[in-house]
Amino acid sequence: MAAVAVFALLMASALAGAAAGGDIVHHDDEAPKIPGCTNDFVLVKVQSWVNGKEDDEYVGVGARFGPKIVSKEKHANRTRLTLADPIDCCRSPKEKVSGDVLLVQRGKCKFTKKAKFAEDAGASGIIIINHVHELYKMVCEKNETDLDINIPAVLLPRDAGFALHTVLTSGSSVSVQLYSPNRPVVDTAEVFLWLMAVGTILCASYWSAWTVREAHSEQEKLLKDGQKVIVENGGSGGMVDINVASAIMFVVVASCFLIMLYKLMSSWFVDLLVVIFCIGGVEGLQTCLVALLSRWFRPALESFLKVPFFGAVSYLTLAVCPFCIVFAVMWAVHRHFTYSWIGQDILGIALIVTVIQIVRVPNLKVGSVLLSCAFLYDIFWVFISKRWFHESVMIVVARGDKTDEDGVPMLLKIPRMFDPWGGYSIIGFGDILLPGLLVAFALRYDWAAKKSMQTGYFLWSMMAYGSGLLITYVALNLMDGHGQPALLYIVPFTLGTLIALGWKRGELRNQWFKGEPEKVCTHMHMRPLPKNNATSPVDSSIS
């Protein structure tokens, strides 16, 4: 289980900054902005009617040139759609269209040229069918001057465009409505995702601290009974303590893993990630369920059966394991359904809670190194990687671009409930797991030092994490849904709060190096005095 936990931490580190809500507005600094060509790239809804009956809705992208497309459906006109003649509209149409929207194919001429010909023919708009499935950005060239275009232009992907083309060539009457609705400032999905992340760390921290306290209580009991105790990993068997070297290596290896995900991203590779995620999810869900059920089924937990390749396994684990496997398999099979996010979140939360319970930050020094490296890693792969790869590697991997998936499985996600564009709000495992290791350390320290909630560090670190994640979503909405490196905001809040409080209370050095309060040994055994010298004060002091 420890090996699975370490590997899960690695996967989480690889996706430590994928807080996103789906792009709608694109501010492109590379495409030239010149007079008459200054629009932002926006997604556009193309609602169609066939023979007067409402039909399919398609999604395209608006052009850099032309007027801005209205944002509200009620302000958008329903206009007849007409095939251009010639179909590519690279020269003036043969007939006037008197206010219709022209449907044209990509062709070999410039987008602006098509729009000018369509406008001169009397069209009220132009819909261009791309020759590939992807959407291009319709831009202007630097030396263009005739950009007084007064009709909107929309580019549709090939499948959507040819669907309209087929209906038109069949002789049906088609009309369309073009509009680009705005995303709400705050979606309910982000609120629930925030509660999910904070609640996961809260549960994981209490479980981690409780496990350590139980182990220490057992040691105290054995010491009082005069038995010999061998302490391993701070008295908590089965746990893995991170050191400074491993904290740095985590980020290095996570970078290599992220590049591999980026380069190999395809349908078969996502299937491999799904299998790996299911294995980790089964382990996490099983561990959590066994811990929850152990209170009511203590005899089943303490009775063991020898299983080949696995050794001694409790009857409770054997009873829970089939359910966990079936749950993970059912999610994998139905992961393309709209409700599959529920199963993914359950498996993901169980895995995160289990990893935080097994993998530990032993002191503030290691926690600072781990989160500082993750902070730099996050910024690099979300922002700086664009210079070498021409796109944000972290966001591309998180969204599952180049595949038919809605993203890789190492994410928590909730569908956007009141967003007209749909999609999901997502957060990477690393944005919960890595800060969670530090928060769990704070609670273990508080319990060991017998601190109250107000005088301890856990409450403040939880508030710091919640505030940092909240600022992440504020930035996400201010940036029109562009993916944000969550640790850019979470790490300064969480780590800064613990360091500042420790320094103010004079406990920073102890937290930094030892990671636990000073202890006074209450089990020192004095050597008995000789009977004939029991009354001698000098001999007694020497003894």
Which residues carry out catalysis? 378, 431
Exposed, middle or buried by CB within 10 Å (0-12, 13-18, 19+), for 92?
exposed
Q: Phi and psi of 455, rounded to 5°?
A: -90, -5
Is the bond leading into 299 cis (omega within 30 degrees of zero)? no
Query: What was the pLDDT predicted at 164?
Result: 94
Query: What was the pLDDT predicted at 168?
Result: 92
Query: What was the pLDDT predicted at 231?
Result: 46
CB 494, CB 468: distance < 8 Å: yes
Low-confidence ranges of the chain (pLDDT < 50): 21-29, 229-236, 522-527, 529, 532-543
CB 262, CB 397: distance < 8 Å: yes
Contacts of 226 (CB under 8 A, 6+ apart): none
Q: Phi and psi of 474, rounded to 5°?
A: -65, -45
Q: Phi and psi of 66, rounded to 5°?
A: 85, 175
The distance in angstroms from the start CA to the end CA of the chain is 49
Beta strands per DSSP E along 383-507? 411-415, 424-428
Contacts of 233 (CB under 8 A, 6+ apart): 239, 240, 241, 360
- Give buried/exposed letters for 71-85 (b at 16+ CB in 10 A, else e): eeeeebeebebbbbe
Can you give the three-state secondary structure of 45-95, one letter per residue? EEEEEECCEEEEEEEEEECCCCCCCCCCHHHCCEEEEEECCCCCCCCCCCC
Query: What was the pLDDT predicted at 300?
Result: 84
Which residue, among 474, 453, 464, 454, has the nearest Cα to 495 in the 3D structure?
A: 464
Query: What was the pLDDT predicted at 539?
Result: 40
Contacts of 345 (CB under 8 A, 6+ apart): 196, 412, 413, 414
Contacts of 408 (CB under 8 A, 6+ apart): 15, 261, 270, 273, 397, 398, 400
Query: What was the pLDDT predicted at 418?
Result: 83
Query: What was the pLDDT predicted at 354?
Result: 92
The H-assigned helical ranges of 392-429 are: 393-399
Alpha-carbon separation of residue 334 from 214, 279, 286, 338 (angstroms): 40, 16, 21, 9
Query: What was the pLDDT predicted at 238?
Result: 67
Query: What was the pLDDT predicted at 14?
Result: 60
